[in-house]
Amino acid sequence: MADELLDAKGLSCPLPILRAKKTLKIMGNGDLLTVLATDPGSLRDFPSFCSQTGNRLEGSTEIEEGVYRFLIRKVI
């Protein structure tokens, strides 16, 4: 398994989701993608994205003021 880090800080919607989708496409089943984002909309976008794509959102936290971390497990 290979884990990936996607730094999407400073990007506005829909770029964090589009970059995550592109990164997940090349990852293997079971791999973990960590996304760092500053777009407040990402708090609702990533849960919705994971629900729609079948990937699993394993966690989301605000790691510092205005910086959010999303842990996405590729399951398809």
Q: CA 56, CA 13: separation in Å to the nearest integer?
A: 20
- Tokens for 58? 């394993």
**Which residue among 13, 32, 57, 71 is the active-site one?**
13
Residue 50 a catalytic site member = no
Residue 35 burial by CB count (10 A; 0-12/13-18/19+): exposed, middle or buried? Answer: buried
Active centre residues (catalytic): 13
